[in-house]
Amino acid sequence: MPEPVEVKTTENSSKPEIGVTGRKIIYGKDGKPCRSCNSLLDFQFATAGMTKGAPVVPNVPSPKIKENQAVAAKKEKYNPYAKDIPPDVEVLGKSSWTLLHAIAATYPETPDDKKQRDMKQFLKLFGNFYPCWFCAEDFTRFMAKNEPKVETQDSLGRWLCDAHNEVNAKLGKPKFDCNLWKRRWKDGWEEED
């Protein structure tokens, strides 16, 4: 059985520096582990470390060994000429919604005027350049009727949720409960959800 890992932490804190995958843990500007910058495993590990004191990770090989394993596995698996094909409307859509909702999840809670202007501009340009032209046209029409709500993180998240629901309705898919957008895209679900 592997020995418990000695976890490297920063001075006088329980913030681990290296995750269980052997990669450096990335923290956000708020000092908390950054969900979209780390692997899920490392994020959970770092979050546990911060909420419950010094992290204890039994049964995990040492970070260095894990890192070497991960690098080796990547070298073996990664093939830039694998016959992956260009995205269809569904793959493109899912990836794009993931990006948009993840951007909302990291948008400032109270953005300054410039950030708000930039976000409006970004959404406009996103609509101009979205590769599926008829999707782009509908999204741009939606924006013309429903001006993006960029005043706060929550207003943007809910506005995007509404925009996504508009497409869901068009495709005959169920409506997503926009009160839950942060659980899906920012905080994660509670045990009891």
Ligand X SMILES: Cc1cc2nc3c(=O)[nH]c(=O)nc-3n(C[C@H](O)[C@H](O)[C@H](O)COP(=O)(O)OP(=O)(O)OC[C@H]3O[C@@H](n4cnc5c(N)ncnc54)[C@H](O)[C@@H]3O)c2cc1C
- The one among 5, 101, 111, 123 contacting ligand X by CB under 6 A: 101
Q: Tell me the closest approach of the beta carbon of residue 174 to ligand X, in angstroms.
A: 8
The Cα 193–Cα 56 span in angstroms is: 27
Q: Looking at residues 158 to 187 of the shown chain, list those that interact with ligand X (rule: CB under 6 A).
A: 161, 164-165, 167-168, 170-171, 176, 181, 184
The Cα 72–Cα 13 span in angstroms is: 32
What are the tokens at 87?
Answer: 């995205």
Q: Which is nearer to ligand X, 46 or 163 (CB)?
A: 163
Residue 14's φ and ψ, nearest 5 degrees, are: -100, 25
CB of 57 closer than 8 Å to CB of 48:
no
The Cα 182–Cα 31 span in angstroms is: 19
> For ligand X, which stretch binds (CB under 6 A), given 20-28, 53-61, 68-76, 129-137?
129-137
Q: Tell me the closest approach of the beta carbon of residue 145 to ligand X, in angstroms.
A: 14
Residue 18's φ and ψ, nearest 5 degrees, are: -120, 135
Q: Tell me the closest approach of the beta carbon of residue 38 to ligand X, in angstroms.
A: 21
Residues that bind ligand X (CB under 6 A): 89-90, 93-94, 96-97, 101, 130, 134-135, 138-139, 161, 164-165, 167-168, 170-171, 176, 181, 184
